Amino acid sequence: MHAYQRDFLDLALRRDALRFGEFTLKSGRISPYFFNAGRFDSGADLAALGSAYAASVLASDIGFDMLFGPAYKGIPLAAATAVTLATKYDRNVPVAYNRKEAKAHGEGGMLIGAPLAGRVLIVDDVITAGTAIRESLALIHAHGATPCGVLIALDREERGQSTLSAAQEVSAEFSIPVLAIARLTELLTLTQNNPTLALHHARLAEYRQQYGV
């Protein structure tokens, strides 16, 4: 596990963004853990998160022209990543995000920020079944731009429609990389090596058996 992955998971646990218990997911699956990026709710948290996203994308060879943060949780994540890229890496990239409902007055429309153009990197929180990401991909295509990758905080590594994970299916179908700061794999490693999280580890491993790849 990379240092930035451990730092990210430690921060998520400290901030209760990663919780253990019993949670019903959008897919209807009952999960022993849940990732809530909304718990990163201070300037320091967002700065740490922006650094983790930026480190992940720069460690990859994804070429991108701009960032897109899907409403709602992707919005501050894309903004934090853009701030880090500009302030820490001297790379000033445009940022766009969407509304969930079109606005008929004022400037109107579904999109806010920079016009979608060129190679667009989607910055979001988590992938389970891939539904949310597919919506973003459709929106980017509809605006004539080219999705070039997906950057998320956590890949839950759950089975999609095939034997592949939802993230792998999205990657294969759209021919783009799907990058995660951390995956269920790293969370399993972290919980395995921490005696106070042993019980959770067993439940995570069982869940992975049932729904994972």
The 108-127 site mask, x for binding ligand OMP (CB under 6 A), equals -----------------xxx
State both tokens at 52.
Answer: 């983790």
Query: Rounded to the nearest whole angstrom, what is the least distance from the CB of residue 192 to ligand OMP in the complex?
Result: 19
Question: Which of the following is catalytic: 2, 88, 105, 141?
Answer: 105
Using only C-alpha atoms, the chain has a radius of gyration, in whole angstroms, of: 17
**Cα dihedral 48/87/127/172 (nearest 10):** -140
State both tokens at 156.
Answer: 């839950």
Contact 116, 21 (CB under 8 A): no
Question: Which of the following is catalytic: 2, 88, 103, 200?
Answer: 103
If the CB atoms of residues 16 and 107 are measured against ligand OMP, the closer one turns out to be 16
Among the listed residues 42, 60, 131, 161, the single contact to ligand OMP using CB under 6 A: 131
Gap between the Cα atoms of 146 and 142, Å rounded: 10
Residue 124: CA atoms inside 13 Å, Cβ hemisphere, count? Answer: 23
Tokens 């921060």 belong to 11
| Active-site residue flag, 103 | yes
In a 3-state reduction of DSSP, which class is residue 143?
A: coil
Residue 27, interface with ligand OMP (CB under 6 A)?
yes
Rule CB under 6 A: which of 182-201 touch ligand OMP?
none
Size of the site for ligand OMP (CB under 6 A): 15
If the CB atoms of residues 118 and 212 are measured against ligand OMP, the closer one turns out to be 212
The piece of 20-28, 43-51, 75-83, 184-192 that touches ligand OMP (CB under 6 A) is 20-28
The piece of 7-15, 29-37, 108-116, 176-184 that touches ligand OMP (CB under 6 A) is 29-37
Q: What are phi and psi of 18, to 5 degrees?
A: -110, 120
Residues that bind ligand OMP (CB under 6 A): 25-27, 34-36, 125-132, 166
Binding residue ranges for 5-phospho-alpha-D-ribose 1-diphosphate: 26, 72-73, 99-100, 103, 105, 124-132
Residues belonging to the active site:
103, 105
